[in-house]
């Protein structure tokens, strides 16, 4: 059995924690033949399920899924009794697993790791425990859980209370009998919501102190769902694999129904089905867009509030229980059994701390702003210092004495949530920056443990002793984690996901919300690319392929995947008319565009007949500066409708009148027809600015792609013709040259919508080869002296990126003022996909600001 570690002991690996992750980590490391010591402060295995023994504690992921899958034999030997197993049953399971694989022999209980210091000379970790033991190990692995460090009490007077005090996170093993007692519960998160109905059964009086009402849906616990059991019985491997490659670690059919477009009856039916299912991923997946779109989220939130009001009899209490200060899902939603019904009991009372805050805990009970309460017992269900608390509890020091808490002072920074630069051979299981708490933990834990174990195996095979992420790879991953969070509603909430529950904790979105499958793919890709972003060293030298594993905005990737699934023919294989029809059909499926003050269509004279235009007026009182806008489409495609969402967006954001002009297209009217029309449109608009609701003399040009090309040309021609005066030129991913040899073509010419063959197709339709060097086709080759200020937008994954940058450079060299906007992680088209690609919104905000700054009276 379990022998205490000794000062001289050396292990291959030390693992902190003997819960779900620590047990499996130990199992895997042993199978690699490594010597391992696991420490846990508890006196048995179980981790979170050892400590959280409060009444009603259960998992809220179906136990068919919240279970190890690494050994089919293990699965045959254990049958869960319910859809959501109780804490005692889950603890029994973990004990069973520990015994079945003889894991206890390597676990030292009732012992915490106090410090872990990296010894650069020895290339080992030096570990001390709270029992004074010192030992050394090659690999230090924290499997210490995301919700294991209780939050410190931050309520005045807690030490004064003379009655019994309980914490849901540290519940007495012998249980508590509240019969006949006056009990207070503080906190209405998952723990409080599970415990309250059961405490109410015993207590003579129960008072719940609620700071923030929480969304909760009924668990409908009972037998394991038949559908899942059947699927598992039919093909266990297929089921487990589906879980591993699902968004949340539980196989679900993702929906493509959008809340913003669903009919009322469809919305109601989907919601009621999810309510009946009693599963988190059902209620979180009523609509595909509820996590990102406030309107869609609001539909689900309101239906839940309706349910609460229908359950709770007292309207005032019902109202106080209805969450209104955060979007549904942005704080962890709960599954309950009779939670809201509990408030109908005569001896149960809700105290809304928003109306009457606690002023102090007293000897006898709790004082609020306008009442004193007497209690026999107080239960704190006040939560955890999530995701970083347990890691920071150990004094971890890496290379050159760098302390982990110092490194993470402004928030955690990790590569894949697995490792952090400066701390060689230090691994975290379900660390910040991994899906962890947003997923089925069992699946995420197995994936992490497997990745670490496989990595150590690969290191051994290849003769490496240390591994550590590079700063570049890590900052790239941090950025990707932030990008994923930023397109969702999550950062708007004061949640523990954001560190907002712990006073003074930096406010950053801690988990990775890109999904289990997407995350797993990223981890696999890192390995497939020879551990991209990791530096590995050994006696034979070091190996490091530095780089960033995910540079594209997550929603842009998603759109590209969806487009690929549609299997549309490449545009360049179609005729111009077929391509136009395909674009028109795609435009018909767009979400509603932003509202503007007014939209009117008109005609303006052009060099070869009238040119249709569409005028967008912002909601504010005019007159406004005017922007003449030219749509994209390679001089062949596009019209007033194609760029309508972008024009609306620019109009509202920049508070300018936008005049979108439909110029002549190729092949019907080839070069220089489009450029001639653009210049004519600029002249006409400038001379009619006042009639259009604009400010005379305040006219800019703008264009996207080929539209950017003719906008740039129009500026050169206005200069040459001595007018009109142009206040600025906004060039969004413009074509500025016909040279396709720049690196951005090589990097991005395939697979990001605008491809090299498509650019050939456009140019072939537009201009003869002999004309392609003409400055009216390739403005980069023109005279750039004396041009108006410019804003040049370039996208990372655009073949045209480098010619946009070249134009910005050349303008600057000629003395023009240039603002560069980098659409980080975007393709040629994605920034313009208003309402579809959410990560484009901040870029468009920057563009709109640049547009406003063209005009002297800009606010
Ligand atoms: O903790 P919480 P939890 N004065 O942070 C309130 C998982 N889990 O232990 O929201 C007054 O969610 C606080 O109020 P506010 C699950 O992931 C799973 O319940 O900060 N109130 C909140 O109401 C879960 O999300 C299961 O305004 C104070 C509550 O205390 C996570 O663990 C079961 C306060 C804390 O809620 C944490 O859940 C249990 C103060 N000073 C837990 N400080 C399963 O079902 C805090 N509060 C698997």
Q: What is the pLDDT of residues 795-826, one digit of tens each?
A: 999 999 999 999 999 999 999 999 999 999 99
pLDDT at 700 over 80: yes
380 CA distance to ligand 1 middle (Å): 10
User: What Cα–Cα distance (Å) separates residue 448 from each residue in 22, 143, 277, 387?
Assistant: 11, 10, 29, 15
Atom of ligand 1 nearest to the CA of 59: 48
Rounded Cα distance between 100 and 239, Å, is 24
Note the pLDDT tens digit of each residue in 12-47: 999 999 999 999 999 999 999 999 999 999 999 999
385 CA distance to ligand 1 middle (Å): 10
Classify residue 226 as exposed, middle or buried by CB count within 10 Å of its CB (0-12, 13-18, 19+): exposed
Which residue's C-alpha comes closest to atom 44 of ligand 1?
59
Band of residue 7 on the pLDDT scale cut at 50, 70, 90: low
pLDDT attached to residue 95: 98
Atom of ligand 1 nearest to the CA of 501: 20
- What average pLDDT score do residues 714-734 get? 98
Task: Give buried/exposed letters for 95-120 (b at 16+ CB in 10 A, else e).
Answer: bebbeebebbebbbbebbbbebbbee
pLDDT attached to residue 229: 87
Q: In terms of pTM, does the model score above 0.75?
A: yes
Q: What are the backbone dihedrals phi and psi of residue 30, each rounded to the nearest 5 degrees, phi first? A: -60, -40
496 CA distance to ligand 1 middle (Å): 8
Which residue's C-alpha comes closest to atom 31 of ligand 1?
190
- What average pLDDT score do residues 167-180 get? 97
pLDDT attached to residue 592: 82
The CA radius of gyration of the chain, in Å to the nearest whole number, is: 31
Rounded Cα distance between 146 and 17, Å, is 11
Query: Ligand 1 pocket check: which of 278, 383, 438, 439 to mutate, most ligand atoms within 8 Å of Cβ?
Result: 383
167 CA distance to ligand 1 middle (Å): 11
Which residue's C-alpha comes closest to atom 29 of ligand 1?
187
With both helix axes pointing from N to C terminus, report the angle between 441-462 and 20-31 in degrees, rounded to the nearest 10.
30
Contact 21, 145 (CB under 8 A): yes
Which residue's C-alpha comes closest to atom 11 of ligand 1?
211
Helix (H) or strand (E) holding 256: none
Atom of ligand 1 nearest to the CA of 190: 19
Percent of the chain at pLDDT exceeding 90? 96
344 CA distance to ligand 1 middle (Å): 22
Note the pLDDT tens digit of each residue in 506-558: 999 999 999 999 999 999 999 999 999 999 999 999 999 999 999 999 999 99
Rounded Cα distance between 109 and 127, Å, is 16
Which residue's C-alpha comes closest to atom 37 of ligand 1?
383
Q: List, chain by chain if needed, residues with CB within 6 Å of any ligand 1 atom.
A: 58-60, 147, 154-155, 168, 186-192, 194, 211-212, 332, 353, 381-384, 437, 496, 501
For residue 324 the two structure tokens come to 């209104």
Rounded Cα distance between 688 and 694, Å, is 8
393 CA distance to ligand 1 middle (Å): 20
Task: Give buried/exposed letters for 628-656 (b at 16+ CB in 10 A, else e).
Answer: bbbbbbbbbbbbbbbbbbbbbbbbbbbbb
Contact 806, 740 (CB under 8 A): no
The dihedral through the CA atoms of 623, 625, 631, 635 has a sign that is: positive
pLDDT attached to residue 1: 42
Note the pLDDT tens digit of each residue in 203-226: 999 999 999 999 999 999 999 888
Query: Ligand 1 pocket check: which of 63, 248, 495, 501 to mutate, most ligand atoms within 8 Å of Cβ?
Result: 501
Atom of ligand 1 nearest to the CA of 153: 41
pLDDT attached to residue 205: 98
Which residue's C-alpha comes closest to atom 34 of ligand 1?
382
500 CA distance to ligand 1 middle (Å): 12
| Residue 466: strand, helix, or coil | strand
How does the average pLDDT of the chain come out, rounded? 96
């Amino acid at each position: 059995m379990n022998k205490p570690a000794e000062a001289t002991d050396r292990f291959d690996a030390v693992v902190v924690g003997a819960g779900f992750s620590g047990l499996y980590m130990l199992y895997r490391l042993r199978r690699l033949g490594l010597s391992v010591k696991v420490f846990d402060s508890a006196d048995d295995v179980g981790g979170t399920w050892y400590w959280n023994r409060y009444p009603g504690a259960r998992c809220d992921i179906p136990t068919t899924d919240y279970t190890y899958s690494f050994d089919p034999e293990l699965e045959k030997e254990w049958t869960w009794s319910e859809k959501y197993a109780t804490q005692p049953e889950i603890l029994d399971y973990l004990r069973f697993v520990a015994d079945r694989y003889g894991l206890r022999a390597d676990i030292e209980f009732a012992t915490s790791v106090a410090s872990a210091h990296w010894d650069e000379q020895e290339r080992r970790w030096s570990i001390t425990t709270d029992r004074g033991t010192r030992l050394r190990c090659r690999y230090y692995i924290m499997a210490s859980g995301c919700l294991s460090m209780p939050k410190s009490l931050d309520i005045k007077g807690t030490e004064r209370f003379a009655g019994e005090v309980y914490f849901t996170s540290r519940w007495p093993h012998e249980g508590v009998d509240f019969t006949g007692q006056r009990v207070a519960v503080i906190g209405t998160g998952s723990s409080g919501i599970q415990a309250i109905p059961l405490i109410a059964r015993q207590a003579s009086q129960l008072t719940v102190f609620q700071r923030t009402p929480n969304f909760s849906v009924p668990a409908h616990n009972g037998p394991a769902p038949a559908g899942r059991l059947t699927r598992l019985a039919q093909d266990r491997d297929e089921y487990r694999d589906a879980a591993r490659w699902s968004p949340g670690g539980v196989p679900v059919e993702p929906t493509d129904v959008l809340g913003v477009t669903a009919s009322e009856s469809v919305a109601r039916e989907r919601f009621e089905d999810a309510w009946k299912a009693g599963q988190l991923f059902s209620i979180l997946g009523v609509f595909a867009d509820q996590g990102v779109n406030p309107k869609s989220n609001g539909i689900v939130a309101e239906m839940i509030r309706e349910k609460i009001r229908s359950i709770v009899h007292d309207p005032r209490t019902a109202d106080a229980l209805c969450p209104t200060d955060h979007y549904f899902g942005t704080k962890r939603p709960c599954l309950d059994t009779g939670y809201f019904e509990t408030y109908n009991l005569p001896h149960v009372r809700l105290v809304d701390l928003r109306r009457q805050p606690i002023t102090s805990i007293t000897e006898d009970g709790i004082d609020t702003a306008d009442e004193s309460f007497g209690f026999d017992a107080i239960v704190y269900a006040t939560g955890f210092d999530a995701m970083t608390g347990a890691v920071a509890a150990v004094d971890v020091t890496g290379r050159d004495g760098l302390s982990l808490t110092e490194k993470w002072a402004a928030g955690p920074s990790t590569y894949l949530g697995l490792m952090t630069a400066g701390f060689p051979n230090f691994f975290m299981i379900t660390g910040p920056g991994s899906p962890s708490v947003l997923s089925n933990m069992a699946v995420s834990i197995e994936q992490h443990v497997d990745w670490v174990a496989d990595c150590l195996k690969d290191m051994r095979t290849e003769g490496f002793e240390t591994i550590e992420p590079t700063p570049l790879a890590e900052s790239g991953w941090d950025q990707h984690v932030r990008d994923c969070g930023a397109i969702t509603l999550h950062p708007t909430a004061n949640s523990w996901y954001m560190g907002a529950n712990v006073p003074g904790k930096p406010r950053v979105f801690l988990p990775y919300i890109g999904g289990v499958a997407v995350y797993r793919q990223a981890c696999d890709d890192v390995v497939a690319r020879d551990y991209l972003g990791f530096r590995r060293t050994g006696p034979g030298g070091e190996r490091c392929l530095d780089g960033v594993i995910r540079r594209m905005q997550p929603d842009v990737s998603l759109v590209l995947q969806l487009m690929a699934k549609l299997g549309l023919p490449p545009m360049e294989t179609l005729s111009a008319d077929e391509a136009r029809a395909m674009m028109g059909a795609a435009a018909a499926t767009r979400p509603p565009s932003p509202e503007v003050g007014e939209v009117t269509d008109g005609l303006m004279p052009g060099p070869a007949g009238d040119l249709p235009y569409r005028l967008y007026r912002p909601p504010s009182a005019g007159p406004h500066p005017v922007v003449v806008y030219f749509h994209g489409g390679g001089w062949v495609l596009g019209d007033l409708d194609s760029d309508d969402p972008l024009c609306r967006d620019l109009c509202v954001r920049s508070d300018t009148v936008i005049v979108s002009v439909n110029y002549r297209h190729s092949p019907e009217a080839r070069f220089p027809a489009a450029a001639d029309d653009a210049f004519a449109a600029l002249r006409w608009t400038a001379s009619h600015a006042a009639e259009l609701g604009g400010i005379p003399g305040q006219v800019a040009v703008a264009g996207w792609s080929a539209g950017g090309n003719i906008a740039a040309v129009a500026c050169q021609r206005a200069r040459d013709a001595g007018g009109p005066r142009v206040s600025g030129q906004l060039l969004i991913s413009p074509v500025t040259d016909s040279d396709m040899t720049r690196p951005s073509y090589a990097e991005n010419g395939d697979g990001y919508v605008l491809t090299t063959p498509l650019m050939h197709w456009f140019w072939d339709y537009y201009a003869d080869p002999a004309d392609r060097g003409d400055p009216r086709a390739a403005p980069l080759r023109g005279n750039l002296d004396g041009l108006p200020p410019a804003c040049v937008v370039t996208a990372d994954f655009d073949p045209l990126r480098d010619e946009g940058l070249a134009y910005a450079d050349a303008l600057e060299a000629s003395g023009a003022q240039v603002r560069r906007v980098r659409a980080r992680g975007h393709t040629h088209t994605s920034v313009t996909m208003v309402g579809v690609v959410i990560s484009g919104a901040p870029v468009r905000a920057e563009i709109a600001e640049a547009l406003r700054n063209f005009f002297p009276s800009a606010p």
